[in-house]
Every structure is written in structure tokens, then in C-alpha cells.
Amino acid sequence: MEYTTNGTTRRYEANRSSYYDGNVVKETDKYQYGCEFEFYIDTKRYDFNSAIDSITKEIYEITDVEILVDTIHLPTDDDRNQCIQIKPDISLEDSGIEISVPITTASGIEHYIQTICPIIEKYGYTNEQTGFHIHISTMNNDGINFNFYKFMLLCDRAGLLSSWEPRIGYSQNVMDILSSYTKQASRKIKTKKGTIWNVEKIEANHVEVKSIGGDDYHQKIDTMLNEFADYCRYFEETLQRDTDEHKQMYVEHKKQVQKLSKIASAEFADALSEAGII
């Protein structure tokens, strides 16, 4: 495998013997996707750098895009979002890394879930600090008025935001504030490093979902695939005109919020603001 260097980043040429046409986003597509796998290298079984080299070779066999590898800094290449990246994760300890995939299609995400999770199992492990992040956005953001609040309520109603154990300081459900959140718990979370909320607005047309993760999350491939499909469906539903069912969902949620104490209500508003949802 040949590579060039740019500072501390190694760029590996794409595997020209592989071809995954279904992973390529086309101009006619409505949506585009991305994802990130956080995990730790099992340094009890492998030398860290040797494991990175082996992982790179295995990634090479499952994709037809170039690979950026950097264990010291985040790659800065202009086309990094069109490459697979193996890079450090600032929310994890020394042997923690992240594999991020290029902008791709829904079937591309499914492909990477099915092929990268076994690589994690072979060379590493996942724990409560690690997660799987999903990015969903429209291809065109001109005039998009994406209702992130509606998306959050749809996902919560389906149980998606609470289907995995909360990872304090790494992935917390905004909706938990409605039931059990306290000011002490909020302060405790904010003293931890890492990302807090499990749904965040990135741009006007772009949401990041971080609800999936925790101990051995990479072994639950079927659940990851099913929940990814659900999030995609609710993203599309969010862009549709509100139905009577949606309007009733808003009414029920408003009643729930009105029952909160002033402190809890303020915390809920703060959390939504931090997540970019309002």
C-alpha cells in the first residue's frame, strides 16, 4: 500500500480493485450521510502502531476511497470528508481512536457498519466512553427550514433517544430533563469532557445523532442498522408538512413541559439551546 505524507498525516491511495457504486452520493440524491466509530485499541493484545497499520490494511479492502491516517493530529486535507479517516479522538484516552467515513449514501452507511464493526472487534473494544455518531443532512440547504424540535420529538416518541444507556459526559438525552434531571446532575455532566447531548444541530440542514454507544456497542450491528434506518425515516418525516398527529404530539409535549418546575424548565431550555435545537 503506497502513501504520501502531509505533516503527520499519511494518505493511502484508493483500492482501485474495489468498487462500491452504491456508496457514491449523486447530484440527484436528496440526502447525504456520514458516521464515526469511536473505540479503543486493545493494547494488551496489540502494539498500538502495529494495530493501526493492520486496521488500515483491512479498511483498504472494504472501500474504494483514499484513506487518511494520523495518530497525532486531526487530518487537515481539504478533501478529508471524501476520505476514510483514522484519527485520534479528543474525547478519549491515549489509545482511543475514531474512524470516520466519507460523505456517502444510506446504503454506504450500512456497508460501513457491517464491515468496520468486525474490525473493531478484532483489534479493539468499546466502553461507556465510546460511541457511534450519525450525520444526516439534505444535499441542498438553500431554503431548508428543518424543524429540529420536531425531529427530536419524533425520535423520542419512538424510543430512539433512550434505547441505549446514557453516557454521562459523552451522550446525554435532552429529554431526560423532563423526568429526572436535577441541577446537581447537570453540573456533574458539565464537568466531564466529551460531548453532552445525543442529538445536535450542526447546520441548518444537518443533524448529528450520538445516542448509539457504550459497552460493546460495535457488537450490536443489527440494532445499529435498524436505528440508523429509523433516524433516516424521521429525518425525512420532519421535512414533510405537519399532520394532525404531529400537532397532537406538540400539544402533549407542551403539557409535559408546563408541569416542570421553573428550574427544570430553564435547564431544559438551556440544553435545547446548547444542542442547537432551538
pTM above the 0.75 mark?
yes
Q: 170: helix, coil or strand?
A: coil
C-alpha cell at 253: 409535549
Is the sign of the CA dihedral 101, 218, 96, 89 positive or negative?
Answer: positive
Distance CA 128, CA 38 (A): 11
Number of domains into which the chain is organized:
1
Tell me what pLDDT residue 223 has.
98
Q: d(Cα 189, Cα 172) in Å, to the nearest integer?
A: 9
Question: Residue 268 and residue 260: Cα distance in Å, rounded?
Answer: 9
DSSP category for residue 241: P
Please tell me the predicted confidence (pLDDT) of residue 49. Answer: 97
Question: What does residue 31 show for φ and ψ, rounded to 5 degrees?
Answer: -130, 160
Q: Counting every residue, how long is the chain?
A: 278
**Which residues of the chain fall short of a pLDDT of 70?**
143, 177, 179-195
- At residue 143, the pLDDT reads 61
Task: Supply the pLDDT for residue 169.
Answer: 72
Domain range for residue 249?
Answer: 3-274
Q: Are residues 70 and 4 in contact, defined by beta-carbon separation less than 8 angstroms?
A: no
Is 82:90 a contact under the CB 8 Å cutoff? no
Neighbours of 165 (CB within 10 A): 12
Tell me the C-alpha to C-alpha distance, in Å, between residue 171 and each of 129, 211, 251, 272: 9, 6, 27, 14
